[in-house]
Amino acid sequence: MNESVTCAMREQPAQSALVVRTTVSVRELQSAMGAAFEAVARYLGELGEAPAGPPFAAYHNMDMEHLDVEIGFPVSRPLPGKGDVQASEIPGGQQGVCTFTGPYAEMTAAYDTLAGWLQERNLEPTGVVYEFYLNDPGVTPPHELQTQIVFPLKPVPA
């Protein structure tokens, strides 16, 4: 278990985003991410806009052969999509969050820690998981990569 994983709760406002949504196997994920980040960044350049935060992936399932994933960037305001690039929104509300430091292939323990932490508090994730990539794997050694893992939570009944 990575000792650098700490969990927290936060309340986040909804955030506009531009994404490429695709279905891909985990083996093809890295190349799909590169192509999607490039497509969204190119389109942002055409619009004269900049990302409003780090690149992210939103996993709508955990089927490693058919991952349903949105890959893109948060943006400062709603922007129209074009071609494969779609307008999207990172939902607002309560979130369970942890930051993992280390190689992407070793994130499973951080997922397990966050899921257990939420379960101990009787909090239920929506089922969509976000990963925000806080530094660039092209220049950062794998053991120093930082990924923020976010589980949006279902509202707690009043």
Give the pLDDT confidence score for residue 155 in this predicted structure.
Answer: 86
Give the pLDDT confidence score for residue 65 in this predicted structure.
Answer: 94
Longest CA–CA span in the chain (Å) reads 47
Is 156 in contact with 97 (CB distance < 8 Å)? no
7-152 domain in CATH 3.30.70.141?
no
> Structure tokens of 12?
């986040």
Give the pLDDT confidence score for residue 156 in this predicted structure.
Answer: 75
Distance CA 157, CA 103 (A): 37
Q: Considering Cα of 33, then 38, then 39, then 43, what sign does the dihedral take? A: positive
Distance of CA 22 to the CA centre of its chain: 14
List, in sequence order, the alpha helices (H) in 6-101. 29-47
Q: Residue 82 — φ and ψ, nearest 5°?
A: -160, 125
- pLDDT average per 10 residues of sequence, the chain (158 residues): 74 97 95 97 97 97 94 97 97 96 93 95 95 95 96 86
In a 3-state reduction of DSSP, which class is residue 82? strand
Domain ranges of the chain: 7-152
Give the pLDDT confidence score for residue 4 in this predicted structure.
Answer: 62
Residue given tokens 């951080």 in the structure block: 110
Is 67 in contact with 85 (CB distance < 8 Å)? no
Q: Of 115, 127, 130, which is closest to residue 58 (Cα–Cα)?
A: 130
